[in-house]
């Protein structure tokens, strides 16, 4: 039996999982201070029960939206409003 809390997005909608994760993180980012760290790839993997590639794709989606910036070796952070 699959634990529903670990797989909240699977098979519920045709939207890609990484987009749904990015949407949820975007809502959290809206409340966060500029330059605050966001969830790491590992945190996203554990929180949503997804593969590392999916976590990376979710963060990339947030970068494309201009909501975060990434510093190599340090993580991703809330971007200033544009």
Q: Quick check: 14 pLDDT over 90?
A: no
The whole-number pLDDT of residue 9 equals 55
Which domains, ranges and CATH numbers included, belong to the chain?
Answer: 17-78 (1.10.10.10)
Residue range 68-81, pLDDT digits in tens? 999 999 999 999 98
Short-list 66, 61, 59, CA closest to 80: 66
pLDDT value at residue 11: 59
Tokens of 24: 């949820």
3-state class of 76 per DSSP?
A: strand
pLDDT tens readout for residues 20-41? 999 999 999 999 999 999 999 9
Residue 82 binned pLDDT confidence (cut-offs 50, 70, 90): confident
Closest CA to 41 of 1, 73, 4, 79: 73
* Residue 3 pLDDT greater than 70, yes or no: no
């Amino acid at each position: 039996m699959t634990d529903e809390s670990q797989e909240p997005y699977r098979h519920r909608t045709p939207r890609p999982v990484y987009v749904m994760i990015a949407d949820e993180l975007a809502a959290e980012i809206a409340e966060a201070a500029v330059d605050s760290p966001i969830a790491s790839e590992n945190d996203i993997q554990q929180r949503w029960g997804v593969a590392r590639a999916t976590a990376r794709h979710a963060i990339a989606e947030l970068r494309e939206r201009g909501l975060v910036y990434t510093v190599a070796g340090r993580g991703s952070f809330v971007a200033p409003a544009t």
